[in-house]
Amino acid sequence: MSMPPSLRTRAAFASTAMAVLAALPALPARAAVDPAKARVVFDEAARLCGRDGGRLWHHSLCGPILLVDWTDGTAVASQADAKGVLKPAGPVFVGSLPPDVVIASTPIEWSGKRWTELIWPVPDDVAHRHVMLSHELFHRAQIELGMQQRDGGNLHLDTLEGRILLQLEWHALAAALSAPDKRARDAAISDVLLFRHERYRLFPGAQAEERALELNEGVAEYTGVRVGLPTAAERDAYALRDLESYLQSPTFVRSFAYATGPAWGLLLDQADPAWRDKLAAAMKGANPPGLDQLLQAALKLPEPDAATVKAREAVYDATLRPRELAREQARQAHLAELRTKLVDGPVLRLPLEGHHASYQFNPQMLEALDADHVVYPTMKLSADWGSLSVEQGALLDKAMTVAAVAAAGVSADHLQGAGWRLTLAKGWIVAPGERAGDFVVRRDGAAP
């Protein structure tokens, strides 16, 4: 999945597996895939994977690509599909994907092949586009390499201390990448470890959750930078830009690994060029190491002294804590309003688990209501029961089994509420829920 601000418009959940794809705050106007422009993208991808030659991961990144218009499923492919759904149009193949194919920037299995599927349009900026292409090509190879991990929730990254420690880590990563010599670099890396390990100490489970997303998306983004950019200077500059730009994100829960992955990976390249082989081998086991563990071991750095956290915080950003305290106060007031609307008040509940649900949302906007529930300020949700468009908040449980939207003033025959609109598929109805004023979407004729 490519990094912001590139388009990542849809998240799909197949059984319990989750692929999250970030989006711009607003979906773009419809832009049908231009076959001539698509061919340019295919040629660029071929040059990038050819330049890599399978050296980075001892595995080719080359493979079939689908560029898809998210509005209607029309697609342009680099190769023919086995069933002949897409028709030749010069050197490319065009047509429409069947409605059961998930539209997302993600690897998919369809018509006899594993494709790298990309939402159209792709970024205009050349460097950004090349990083995105290499990132997504790696995701396809990642499956074949057996290097996928199930993403964690990382809701602790929306807490006061979680946000502060993550931003301090980013400051220290930037210092390490910019260090003039090894001594300064190792000192900055010690601070990186200090802030990360303090976060792990404060939040049980944080290490496993962060590691999972970082090994999925962080390693993919590192690969995008390594393969997509030809020189070390360009790679360092891009990684520094990532760290800077993500400081502006309203939430880090789903997006932090896109910022950290390139920085950790490039530092590992300097410390231990064999780290990728070690990681790839370890990821075939049950408990692979995190990037921080690999770097700490490569440099033989001692465990940082947790008692120095406050002092080092002041060195990197003395104004960070006051800013975050103000943000946290405003956030708590906002969460209280959301809880009143989406938990205590009447809601419409929509089943997700086992209903072929797919999603469009912006992971930089997610809000953790509590340890088990996340608010999606805007999203588009599709399932067997139809589709839901949300502009003012939907609540989903961490396991992604049920979605809920505010139903104040809504009746069973009125499929629109404050900030949402529901379109029901044939055979589905809105029925009264368990609480007074609640509603639930269910099959017509099914037991309440």
- Confidence class of residue 448 from pLDDT cuts 50, 70 and 90? low
What is the Cα–Cα distance from 68 to 15, expressed in whole angstroms? 23
Provide mean pLDDT across the span 30-53.
92
Q: Contact, 162 vs 199, CB < 8 A?
A: yes
What are the pLDDT digits (tens) for 400-418?
Answer: 899 999 999 888 787 888 8
C-alpha 403/C-alpha 135 separation (Å) is 30
User: CA-CA distances (angstroms) from residue 116 to 43, 62, 296?
Assistant: 14, 9, 34
Structure tokens at 363: 């992971």
The whole-model pTM stands at 0.81
pLDDT in tens, 196-233: 999 999 999 999 999 999 999 999 999 999 999 999 99
Inter-helix orientation angle 182-202/256-271, to 10°:
140
What is the pLDDT, as a whole number, of residue 447? 66
Which tokens sit at 364?
Answer: 């930089």
What dihedral do alpha carbons 4, 161, 208, 211 form, nearest 10°?
Answer: 30
Residue 93 has pLDDT above 70, yes or no: yes
Pairing of strands 113-119, 65-68: parallel
Q: What values do phi and psi take at 37, rounded to 5?
A: -70, -35
Task: Calculate mean pLDDT across residues 356-362.
Answer: 81
- For the stretch 304-353, pLDDT in tens is 999 999 999 999 999 999 999 999 999 899 999 999 999 999 999 999 99
Angle at 199 between CA 194 and CA 205, to 5 degrees: 135
Q: Among 135-139, 172-176, 376-380, whose mean pLDDT is lowest?
A: 376-380
Number of residues that make up the chain: 448
Q: In what order do the strands lie in the sheet with 386-390?
A: 17-19, 11-14, 358-361, 379-383, 386-390, 420-424, 416-417
3-state secondary structure of 136: helix
- H or E stretch including 324? helix 320-339
On whether the CB atoms of residues 390 and 420 are closer than 8 A, the answer is yes
CB proximity list for 212: less than 8 A, separation 6 or greater? 149, 150, 151, 152
Among residues 375, 366, 420, the alpha carbon closest in space to that of 394 is found at 375
Q: What is the DSSP letter of 86?
A: S
- pLDDT band of 150, cuts 50, 70, 90: confident
Evaluate whether 190 touches 231 at the Cβ level (below 8 Å). no
